Amino acid sequence: MWLVDGELLVAHDLEDVVPGVTLESLYLDPLDDLVRGRGGSVYPGWSGEFQLLVDIKGDAEQTWSAIESELGEHRPMLSRFSNGKVKQGAVSVVISGNRPLATMAAAQQRLSFYDGRATDLGSPLPSSLMPLISNNWTQLFSWQGVGEMPAGERAKLRAYVATAHEQGARVRFWATPDRPGAARDAVWTELADAGVDHINTDDLPALEAFLSARG
């Protein structure tokens, strides 16, 4: 997410931004249409929250301020923090990448939440600010799905998840193996068995099949 001339443009790299390809046009407007047309939920008959992860690539303070302003136009569908309490909405926006932690923590009202890192595990940051802890898998674990997961790493993973859940945060890892095959399936199995809340992948049909097979 890049803030360019007042527009929140969606691209991984700045040189790839295209005017008009925005957070609002790609995500917020379509989600608003879904929620309004489906009785207040992204998915029909489902009462859970839909998490939208927004990755700030540019200046943290200015971009977050612009995001909050744009989210205000979609307030009815969003989870929000106000005066110490969270009101759950159909869509929860979590800010990743360049995150202005001090500014977000000081805000009395906001429409977005903070994506923590492994260094925030066990910290005093409340779930009303940090509902998610994400980290690069390869920074914490050497196992890439070949052979048995080392017992020490399995224990570390489960302790990590347990600690996060105790402080009210969900768990996500990025940079896990994502090429089809036994190694990816093995890592997904360990993540699911450990209670990891979000499994990252670019292959959504494969993940759907994997989770469906687990029942």
Residue 130 lies in a domain: no
The overall average pLDDT reported for the chain is 96
Indicate whether 102 and 141 sit together in one domain: no
- For residue 22, pLDDT over 90 is answered with yes
- For residue 215, pLDDT over 90 is answered with no
Q: What is the pLDDT of residue 49?
A: 86
- Quick check: pTM over 0.85? yes
Q: What is the pLDDT of residue 181?
A: 97
**Residue 145 near residue 188, CB atoms below 8 Å:** no
Q: What is the pLDDT of residue 166?
A: 97
Indicate whether 157 and 84 sit together in one domain: no
Q: List, in sequence order, every beta strand (DSSP E) within 101-186.
A: 109-110, 112-116, 132-136, 170-174
Indicate whether 70 and 153 sit together in one domain: no
Per-residue pLDDT, averaged over 79-104, amounts to 96
Indicate whether 149 and 191 sit together in one domain: yes
Indicate whether 157 and 71 sit together in one domain: no
Per-residue pLDDT, averaged over 184-212, amounts to 97
Range of the domain at 109: 1-116
Residue 132 lies in a domain: no
Indicate whether 3 and 104 sit together in one domain: yes
Indicate whether 10 and 70 sit together in one domain: yes
Q: What is the pLDDT of residue 48?
A: 84
- For residue 134, pLDDT over 90 is answered with yes
Could you tell me the two tokens for 47?
């009462």
Indicate whether 171 and 69 sit together in one domain: no
Indicate whether 148 and 183 sit together in one domain: yes
Q: Output the CA–CA distances (angstroms, integers) from residue 181 to 2, 150, 173, in the order listed.
A: 35, 19, 19
Per-residue pLDDT, averaged over 140-145, amounts to 98
Residue 124 lies in a domain: no
- Burial of residue 163, with CB atoms counted within 10 A of its CB: 0-12 exposed, 13-18 middle, 19 or more buried: middle
Q: What is the pLDDT of residue 39?
A: 87
Last residue of a domain, one of 82, 116, 150: 116
Residue 128 lies in a domain: no
Four-CA torsion 116, 119, 121, 127, nearest 10 degrees: -30
Indicate whether 111 and 183 sit together in one domain: no
Last residue of a domain, one of 116, 148, 174: 116
Q: What is the pLDDT of residue 60?
A: 97
- For residue 176, pLDDT over 90 is answered with yes
When divided into structural domains, the chain yields a total of: 2
Q: What is the pLDDT of residue 58?
A: 92
For the chain, first and last CA: distance in Å?
35
- For residue 45, pLDDT over 90 is answered with no
- For residue 2, pLDDT over 90 is answered with yes
Indicate whether 109 and 3 sit together in one domain: yes
Q: Output the CA–CA distances (angstroms, integers) from residue 190 to 7, 146, 148, 157, 211, in the order listed.
A: 40, 12, 10, 9, 13
